[in-house]
Amino acid sequence: MIRIENLTKYYGSFRALDQINFQVQDGEILGFLGPNGAGKTTTMQIMTSYLAPSEGNIFVDDYNVIEDSFEIRNNLGYLPEHNPLYEDMIVYDFLKFVAKMRKIDDNLIKDRIKEVIEVCGLKRVIHREIGVLSKGYKQRVGLAQAIIHDPSILILDEPTSGLDPNQIAEIRELIKTLGKKKTVLISSHILQEIQATADRMVIINEGKIAADGTLDELMAKFRGDTLLEMELKNADEKKLESISEIDNKIKIVEIDDSKEGAKLKLEYPNTIDPREEIFEFAVNNEWKILEMSRSRTSLEDVFRKLTVEQGGSNEN
């Protein structure tokens, strides 16, 4: 288990991290979300012992980054945002070099390289120079070097940055595969990636923890109103305005009435669901419902609420 306790980091007089606390459970894929400059990379660099904390500590089982950085680094695999590769090296030679740097027994290196090649899908490019590979394959090589020593924890900083949609899907599936056997902390400002990959999310903003929980927990805590959009025929604007009489909690957001039909947007609290009553109201008024769709609070809504609307309360 990873425990971050009262972690604070100063760069001169600037406070990049401000007494942050959270945990990552064994076998969990934790999404670490935040806008650019929020403190994600700084946290990860302290976790990997690249930086020292100004205050507080990070514990990995019985070790901490201040006193046991070497032991912690042995248990970590790290893929930085800017993937550091020797691009003039052949993929196989690079992985062999990293294995030796990690002091893997010479008798085990060949088997370890074979295993990470299989897991990371590098068989087609193993004898090619890294510099000629696509960005997606370079990320795969970066992941391979991060797991060559079979660490129990993976730290991935923006692993899909700069990839095209197909490459993103491939790396996402690879991370899910690795997460079946390892604890994974993955940082990103791309909400869809975290939503599709992580078991739990921690949102950081201006160096402070803004939220911590599963997607359902965050939605429940920060949920807003439900928006219901309808497309109708045979409905006039005056009659449409009376739809709010069904329940005084229903608010009419927009009415767009034209010869082709009417478009109606309604808003109501998530605590009620008046769709059946609205349907019956439409039928009784001989309206033809061409479409009815609702949307609820999204992860993007939660993210914006925590990092934009509340940003003023998190000034350092």
The 3 state secondary structure assigned to 107-165 is HHHHHHHHHHHHHHCCHHHCCCEHHHCCHHHHHHHHHHHHHCCCCCEEEEECCCCCCCH
State residue 60 phi and psi, 5-degree precision.
-120, 105
Q: 213 pLDDT band (50/70/90 cuts)? A: very high
Whether 264 maps to a domain, the answer reads yes
Determine, yes or no, domain membership for 302. no
What are φ and ψ of residue 207, in 5° steps? 80, 5
**Residue 310 counted as domain residue:** no
Q: Say yes or no: 216 and 230 in one domain.
A: no
Does the pLDDT at position 211 exceed 50? yes
DSSP secondary structure string for all residues of 154-220: EEEESTTTT--HHHHHHHHHHHHHHHTTSEEEEEES-HHHHHHH-SEEEEEETTEEEEEE-HHHHHH
pLDDT at residue 261 greater than cutoff 90: no
* 176 and 243 both lie in a single domain: no
Q: What is the pTM of this model?
A: 0.76
Are 141 and 281 contained in the same domain? no
Largest CA distance in the chain: 82
pLDDT higher than threshold 70 for residue 312: no
Domain match, 163 and 241 both: no
Q: What is the mean pLDDT of residues 29-53?
A: 93
Same domain, 145 and 64: yes
The whole domain housing 8 covers 2-221
Among 174, 171, 173, 198, smallest CA distance to 187 is for 198
Same domain, 183 and 291: no
**What is the pLDDT at residue 151?**
95
- Asked whether residue 253 carries a pLDDT value surpassing 50, the answer given is yes
Verify that 145 and 266 share a domain, yes or no. Answer: no
Contact assessment for residue 44 and residue 111, using Cβ atoms and an 8 Å cutoff: no
Number of domains in the chain: 2
Task: Report how far Cα 153 is from the mean position of its chain's Cα atoms.
Answer: 17
Give the pLDDT mean for 254-273: 86
Reported as a pLDDT band with limits 50, 70 and 90, residue 311 is low
CATH number at residue 250: 3.30.70.260
Residue 128 lies in a domain: yes
Q: What is the pLDDT of residue 220?
A: 72
**Model pLDDT for residues 92-149, shown as the tens digit of each residue:** 999 999 999 999 999 999 999 999 999 999 999 999 999 999 999 999 999 999 999 9
Query: Do 197 and 106 share a structural domain?
Result: yes
> What confidence score (pLDDT) does residue 164 get?
86
* Residue 223 pLDDT class (50, 70, 90 cuts): low
Tens-place pLDDT, residues 269-295? 878 899 999 999 999 999 999 999 987
pLDDT tens for each residue of 158-199: 888 888 888 888 888 888 888 888 999 999 877 888 888 999
* Same domain (yes/no): 15, 162: yes
Burial level of 265, CB count in 10 A (0-12/13-18/19+)?
Answer: middle
Is position 15 within any domain? yes
DSSP 12: T
Spatial separation of the C-alpha atoms in residues 151 and 178, rounded to whole Å: 11
User: pLDDT at position 12, please?
Assistant: 95
Q: What is the CATH number of the domain that holds 54?
A: 3.40.50.300
> Hey, what amino acid is at 164?
D
CA angle 146, 151, 153 (to 5 degrees): 90
Q: Quick one: tokens of 66?
A: 């201040």
User: Collapsing DSSP states into helix, strand and coil, what is residue 18?
Assistant: strand
Q: Are 212 and 230 found together in one domain?
A: no
- Same domain? For 123 and 153 the reply is yes
Q: By C-alpha distance, which of 155, 213, 214, 144 is closest to 182? A: 155
